[in-house]
């Protein structure tokens, strides 16, 4: 049974894309058939993965069509390319920002718009062990759609007050809107992944403590993602594989991936 996991927070720049791409890569490295689904029109995850592919075998990927066109043609496979063994990418592009307007024309009822993409995602997802979804940072039809289609959400929280607020708002939103109102069939929260992005800044103990008080320590993944220059560089170069700094990144994500698999009940 495929597990569909969205990485979320209603704030940009907190590490959603970075963590989604690294966890997707680590899952594929463990021989799980993995699809990274980029549902952000900014296409950051797409860029990282296309460069990663070029780093591995000097190959450029070719999409049969953009995600938006694939949706219009009711065939998501047209926007999927292979990145490396066991890892595929459903790439995004700026025209995906037209998705809400396209849905408005198709359905008058908002709930129908939220559900529609699921019907296209499900048959594709079933070919994989894991689907990791990267979403834009704003509340929109796109985030609603991703959450509706998911089994799980991992909340990415930077240890800063705004990101804590973004995380609490996000979890309330999942409960009230996605689960209660739209009746998402399977969605559950895995927990909170804390990210300490600012290099050299003291760990924001207050935010971490607030998070523990608010969410309960059992809901916070034990591994925190520290600031790593190499990880920042992957945003420009794609994932690279050769140096000890790459290995350091992979070691952290092996741990995080273990914690995720434990929580969703997948045997390692």
Ligand X SMILES: Nc1ncnc2c1ncn2[C@@H]1O[C@H](COP(=O)(O)OP(=O)(O)O)[C@@H](O)[C@H]1O
Kindly give the interhelix angle for 244-264 and 229-237, rounded to the nearest 10 degrees. 90
49's contact among ligand X, Mg ion, none, with CB below 5 to 8 A by partner kind, is none
113's contact among ligand X, Mg ion, none, with CB below 5 to 8 A by partner kind, is none
Query: Cα–Cα distance between 81 and 264 in angstroms, integer?
Result: 27
Contact residues for Mg ion, defined by CB under 5 A? 16-17, 44
Shortest reach from residue 175's CB to ligand X, in Å:
21
Residue pair 69/78 in contact (Cβ under 8 Å)? The answer is yes
The beta strands (E) that lie in the chain are given as 3-8, 34-38, 80-84, 87-90, 130-134, 152-158, 188-196, 225-226
The residue whose Cβ lies closest to Mg ion is: 17
The residue among 42 and 66 lying less far from ligand X, judged by its C-beta, is: 42
Q: Which of 181, 169, 177, 129 is nearest to 5 (CA)?
A: 129
Shortest reach from residue 45's CB to ligand X, in Å:
8
Shortest reach from residue 232's CB to ligand X, in Å:
4
Contact residues for ligand X, defined by CB under 6 A? 12-18, 44, 137, 195, 197, 225, 227-228, 231-232, 235
| Residue owning tokens 């809400």 | 100
The residue among 39 and 87 lying less far from ligand X, judged by its C-beta, is: 39
Q: Which of 23, 77, 82 is nearest to 50 (CA)?
A: 82
Shortest reach from residue 213's CB to ligand X, in Å:
24
Shortest reach from residue 226's CB to Mg ion, in Å:
19
220's contact among ligand X, Mg ion, none, with CB below 5 to 8 A by partner kind, is none
**Which H or E element spans position 237?**
helix 229-237
100's contact among Mg ion, ligand X, none, with CB below 5 to 8 A by partner kind, is none
The residue among 8 and 129 lying less far from Mg ion, judged by its C-beta, is: 8
| Residue owning tokens 């450029």 | 60
The residue among 71 and 225 lying less far from ligand X, judged by its C-beta, is: 225
Q: By three-state DSSP, how is residue 195 classified? A: strand
The residue among 125 and 225 lying less far from ligand X, judged by its C-beta, is: 225
């Amino acid at each position: 049974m495929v597990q569909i996991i969205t990485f979320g927070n209603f704030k940009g720049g907190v590490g959603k894309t970075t963590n989604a791409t690294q966890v997707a890569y680590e899952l594929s490295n463990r021989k799980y058939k993995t699809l990274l689904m980029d549902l952000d029109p900014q296409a950051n995850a797409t860029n990282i993965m296309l460069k990663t592919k070029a780093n591995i075998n000097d190959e450029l990927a070719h999409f049969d069509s953009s995600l938006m066109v694939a949706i219009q043609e009711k065939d998501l496979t047209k926007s999927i390319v292979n990145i490396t063994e066991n890892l595929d990418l459903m790439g995004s592009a700026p025209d995906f920002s037209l998705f809400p307007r396209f849905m408005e024309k198709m359905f008058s009822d908002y709930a129908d718009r939220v559900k529609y993409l699921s019907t296209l995602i499900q048959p594709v997802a079933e070919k994989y062990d894991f689907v990791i979804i990267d979403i834009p940072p704003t509340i929109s039809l796109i985030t609603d759609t991703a959450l509706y289609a998911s089994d799980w959400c991992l909340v990415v929280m930077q240890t800063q007050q705004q990101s804590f607020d973004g995380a609490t708002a996000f979890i309330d939103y999942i409960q009230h809107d996605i689960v209660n109102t739209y009746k998402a069939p399977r969605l559950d929260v895995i927990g909170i992944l804390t990210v300490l992005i600012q290099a050299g800044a003291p760990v924001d103990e207050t935010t971490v403590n607030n998070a523990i008080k608010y969410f309960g320590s059992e809901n916070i993944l034990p591994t925190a993602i520290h600031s790593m220059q190499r990880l920042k560089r992957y945003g420009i170069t794609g994932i690279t594989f050769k140096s000890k700094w790459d290995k350091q990144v992979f070691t952290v994500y092996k741990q995080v991936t273990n914690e995720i698999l434990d929580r969703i009940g997948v045997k390692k």
